[in-house]
Amino acid sequence: HSHMDKSNIVTCTAPVNIAVIKYWGKRNEELILPINSSLSVTLHQDQLKTTTTVATSRSFQEDRIWLNGKEEDINHPRIQSCLREIRRLARKRRSDGDPGFDLTSLSHKVHICSVNNFPTAAGLASSAAGFACLVYTLAQVFGIEGELSGIARQGSGSACRSMYGGFVQWIMGQKDDGKDSLAQQVEPETHWPELRILVLVASAERKPIGSTSGMQTSVQTSCLLKHRAESVVPGRMVEMTEAVQRKDFAAFAELTMKDSNQFHATCLDTYPPIFYLNNVSQQVISLVHRYNRHHGETRAAYTFDAGPNAVIFILQQHVPEFVQAVQHFFPPESNGGQFIKGLPVNHAALSEELKRAIGLEPMPKGISYIISTKAGPGPCVVEDPAQHLLGSDGLPK
């Protein structure tokens, strides 16, 4: 019958990450091997996370997957890579005689159901959290422990960094088989508690070109990207790791902005060029630099991925004033919902001096809302069975 054994259903959550040294470009498309190492901060799952339930049952006819309420094609090559690699590892553990391994489930089909706690429309890269959660949950179902970032990487490059909390590096590796292209925690999420992260959700008018095809064109056409990967990133990885370890905000912030700018420069150097930053993004960049100049120190940093949303790094004590400045120069829709979501932000006064120092023309509704968050932990198992996304019939609840 369709009734499932309780032990064959697991629900997990996984985080989004934001790179401060960017990954852009592959040396191997199938294995997803990058042309440079990268470093990211894992965002807290209270604000941004993917939840995935995986069930196995002898009654299931086929592997199936539902993403954000809609059934998707399980034959997607990257989903197949993750399933294949997890099953391969499970079989290996069995032949190695791991007693913790559940024999029966390996021959069964899987049902996968996954949801995000943030709107996909917000344009936040959800493939990293999605593939990290898929791989982590599958591993739990099949009783596999240990290194999993090499499998998550084969779902989406940036997903390997979402397998750990805090500050994470993806070491590019040298081998052709990719066995040494793995993520590693640099510092845990507790390392720098004063660090805050603000996601400025820009009201995007159209969907930009995806990272996978964008970086392909960049590798083929941009000699700036080649120079960056070979001669710039190696030094920056060392500097960034040290800045994080020392909790040196000014050094961390400056490198973050320079690396984001260089990534977008490689996009402009791509032929035909790729534009991810729009006029709202450019206004945010100006605002941050004028804010920093006014205070005579680097208090805020921006970074942008393959879309117009800005992610801001700032120390807790400066958040209220900075948010006031953003709200002043991007006046939100007055009838709309909350402008600031996530971690609460105290109210602050905005001085006339600071307004004058920034001196930009306000852009009404340029930013829809801000998500206020911090660094957070890696993937977690959800113990409460009420949270399973699949019912006892193996279908989405």
Q: Which residues bind ligand DP6 (CB under 6 A)?
A: 19, 22-24, 32, 38, 125, 127, 156-158, 211-212, 305-306
Closest distance to ligand DP6 from the beta carbon of 103 (Å): 33
User: In whole angstroms, how far apart are CA 182 and each of 172, 202, 242, 260, 273?
Assistant: 7, 32, 20, 22, 30
CA 178 to CA 31: how far, in whole Å? 7
Closest distance to ligand DP6 from the beta carbon of 385 (Å): 32
CA 334 to CA 141: how far, in whole Å? 47
Q: Return the structure tokens found at 178.
A: 């990719």
| Nearest to ligand DP6 of 9, 172 (CB atom) | 172
Closest distance to ligand DP6 from the beta carbon of 82 (Å): 12
| Nearest to ligand DP6 of 55, 310 (CB atom) | 310
Closest distance to ligand DP6 from the beta carbon of 109 (Å): 26
Task: Find the Cα–Cα–Cα–Cα dihedral 105, 148, 91, 81, rounded to 10°.
Answer: 80
The residue sitting closest to ligand DP6, measured at its beta carbon, is 157
Supply angle C-alpha 147, 153, 156, rounded to 5. Answer: 150
| Nearest to ligand DP6 of 141, 301 (CB atom) | 301
| Nearest to ligand DP6 of 114, 211 (CB atom) | 211
Closest CA to 88 of 100, 106, 102: 106
| Nearest to ligand DP6 of 138, 219 (CB atom) | 219
CA quadruple 115, 22, 83, 165: dihedral sign: negative
Closest distance to ligand DP6 from the beta carbon of 31 (Å): 11
Closest distance to ligand DP6 from the beta carbon of 16 (Å): 10
Q: What residues contact 304, with CB distance under 8 A and at least 6 apart?
A: 260, 263, 264, 276, 277, 281, 310, 311
| Nearest to ligand DP6 of 56, 158 (CB atom) | 158
CA quadruple 10, 16, 22, 25: dihedral sign: positive
CA 287 to CA 281: how far, in whole Å? 10
Closest distance to ligand DP6 from the beta carbon of 13 (Å): 19
| Nearest to ligand DP6 of 189, 305 (CB atom) | 305
| Nearest to ligand DP6 of 40, 324 (CB atom) | 40
| Nearest to ligand DP6 of 168, 288 (CB atom) | 168
At 348, is the secondary structure helix, strand, or coil? Answer: coil
Closest distance to ligand DP6 from the beta carbon of 361 (Å): 29
CA 227 to CA 272: how far, in whole Å? 19
CA 270 to CA 282: how far, in whole Å? 19
CA 169 to CA 184: how far, in whole Å? 5
Q: Which residue has 């970086």 as its token pair? A: 215
Closest distance to ligand DP6 from the beta carbon of 23 (Å): 3
